[in-house]
Structure 1
Amino acid sequence: MSSEQDEREARLVERVLASFDGTPDPRLKELLRSLTAHLHAFVRETRLTEAEWQAAIEFLTATGHITDHRRQEFILLSDVLGLSMQTITVNHEAYADATEATVFGPFFVDGSPEIPPGGDIANGAPGEPCWVTGTVRDTDGDPVPGARIEVWEADDDGFYDVQYPDERVAARGHLFSGPDGGYRFWAITPTPYPIPHDGPVGRLLAATGRSPMRASHLHFMVRADGFRTLVTHIFVEGDTRLAGDSVFGVRDSLVKRFTTAPAGTPTPDGRDLGGSTWSQVRFDIVLAPSEL
């Protein structure tokens, strides 16, 4: 590339950056200037062709068209590029022994049903019953009573309730930690499943030879006054997909042992499971203070 061409390109970048000089919000100005500089650098470094840029526009347009209140394709795109996980990593710095955060995912729904301690979030979702127990504590080891614990997961067929057309509410719910910080509930044993891959993000994964599969996991979101909201999962120890999770969400500290009980084994709360197998896992949650 000639020096004249390089100067032409550089002058354009400077003109575009200067167009944001009058932005009243200093943070917005910083973000737009940095984003613009990086985008122009990408185009110049890769010598992006017009056909390639058009293909990118068409990809983003298709991503927007498939997105609705039940399917967030842009979140999927952010997830598979590792941007969701990187944003979480930047914004949730390690603090004492606080539980690590991971990706939110596209399938959380407000207004989940409340279950009592020891209740069942499955609500008919197929899968092996799983007894989940633990405590919610602060980084000093003191219990956090009244913490709202949201949980949601895919069923044994690999689908979340919002992926079905019948408006069912299943495999999701919320409960509150007790006076001692303890909690307990029934869920279903997590199994691997593919992220939705029948749209633009799936085509991107196929073009790059990547799998859409997620490692087996159960979602948690824990909120309590005075504490940083925790969005996290627990993963199944021994799952062969832990190293290849399609959204890079696995953290070693979140891999837990799910112990399977043989059929007919009495359950901790005396529930009659009709002779089926069931599993159990313990997840002790530590919340970081909201003001660090």
Structure 2
Amino acid sequence: MSRAPDARLRTVMEALVRHLHAFAREVRLTEPEFELGIDFLNRIGQATHDAHNEGILFSDALGFSTLVCLLNNGQNGATETASALLGPFWRQNSPATDNGGSIVRSATPGPALFADCRVVDPKGNPLAGVEVDVWQASPVGLYENQDSTQADMNLRGKFTTDADGRFWFRSVKPAGYPVPTNGPVGTLLEAQGRHPYRPAHLHFLCSKPDFKTLITQVFVDDDQHLESDVVFGVTRQLVGDFRPGAGVPPAADIDGPWYQLDYTFVLEPGLSTLPTPPIR
């Protein structure tokens, strides 16, 4: 390692090798176990393709993704909306949608949801011109790229905050869902006796020049798996208030239950960069 010209590479690789060797010594790793582990890593690569990232899912299921997220975000404490996992289903080219528009692009069951959100700086000043990417699974538990019955880009949209820092949209109330279990991560969860469920949530990615990109999730407050999220992604700050609608519904076509969500996101000054999409 000493000849590596990149100092950070030396630091990371030295620590990685040191901890890998310590791990093998601690558990007295057998040769069959080592071979099983290598095969497991190979299967992760084989299960990854344009529409699914098994590597991200594996990292999520170990709580490693959340740890990296927490180590690199929220250094200002309560002044920044808590960050959360990007997840394996973000697509960068979601369609631009006017404020007040719907991200429901094909027949999707479930109660209507009307979200009214704001984006502010750490002092509470509204931030105009923030690009906000929103995506979610359908109430049957599948993102549109997993489900041939949904239209392309169903339940995905990209909004821009107005002068008051607001963006608002219509969707359906999300439901919890199991992560994909037909690959090696599913085998691991079964071997560990763990359930595969994520609590219901909406994904948000907020970006604006000169502000640190915020990647986060807002969870439905009555979900039964808030305390046992399979990817360890829930913090108290990320639990939203999904209130049952009362009075006259905001749209004339609503003839059943509907919900409202108000939520404020806080961006801190910093470098605006977008992550690499895990799928296309």
TM-score between the two structures when normalised by the length of structure 1: 0.89
Shift of 1:275: 1.0
Distance 1:279 1:94 in 2: 33
After superposing the two structures, state which structure 1 stretch, 124-133 or 113-122, moved more. 124-133
Shift of 1:232: 0.4
Quote the residue 1:103 is aligned against.
85
Q: Which amino acid in the other structure matches residue 27 of structure 2?
A: T
Distance 2:254 2:120 in 1: 35
- Total equivalences in the alignment: 268
Q: Which amino acid in the other structure matches residue 29 of structure 2?
A: L
Residues 14-163 of structure 1: matches in 2 within 5 Å?
20-95=1-76, 96-124=78-106, 125-163=108-146
Q: Which amino acid in the other structure matches residue 134 of structure 2?
A: V
Distance 1:93 1:112 in 2: 26
- Asked if structure 2 preserves the Cα contact closer than 8 Å seen for 1:215 and 1:239, the reply is yes
Quote the residue 1:257 is aligned against.
241
- Asked if structure 2 preserves the Cα contact closer than 8 Å seen for 1:85 and 1:103, the reply is yes
Partner deviation per Cα, 1:156-175 (whole Å, 9 max, x = no partner) = 11000111247722011110
After superposing the two structures, state which structure 1 stretch, 208-217 or 96-105, moved more. 96-105
Q: Which amino acid in the other structure matches residue 200 of structure 1?
A: P
More helix by share: 1
Quote the residue 1:223 is aligned against.
207
Larger radius of gyration: 1
Distance 2:44 2:10 in 1: 27
Shift of 1:225: 1.2
Shift of 1:266: 2.4
Quote the residue 2:196 is aligned against.
212
* Structure 1 residue matching 2:211: 3-state secondary structure: coil
Q: Which amino acid in the other structure matches residue 111 of structure 1?
A: N
Distance 1:218 1:231 in 2: 11
Distance 1:126 1:225 in 2: 37
Q: Using CA pairs below 8 Å that are at least 6 residues apart, which structure has the higher relative contact order?
A: 2
Distance 2:224 2:148 in 1: 31
Quote the residue 2:257 is aligned against.
277
Quote the residue 1:17 is aligned against.
none
- Asked if structure 2 preserves the Cα contact closer than 8 Å seen for 1:237 and 1:256, the reply is yes
Partner deviation per Cα, 1:143-168 (whole Å, 9 max, x = no partner) = 10010010000001100011124772
Q: Which amino acid in the other structure matches residue 102 of structure 1?
A: A
- Asked if structure 2 preserves the Cα contact closer than 8 Å seen for 1:216 and 1:236, the reply is yes
Identity of aligned residues (%): 37
Partner deviation per Cα, 1:218-247 (whole Å, 9 max, x = no partner) = 000000111111000111112111000000
Shift of 1:92: 0.6
- Asked if structure 1 preserves the Cα contact closer than 8 Å seen for 2:74 and 2:80, the reply is no
Quote the residue 2:248 is aligned against.
266
Distance 1:131 1:141 in 2: 23
Structure 1: gaps spanning 5 or more residues: 1-19
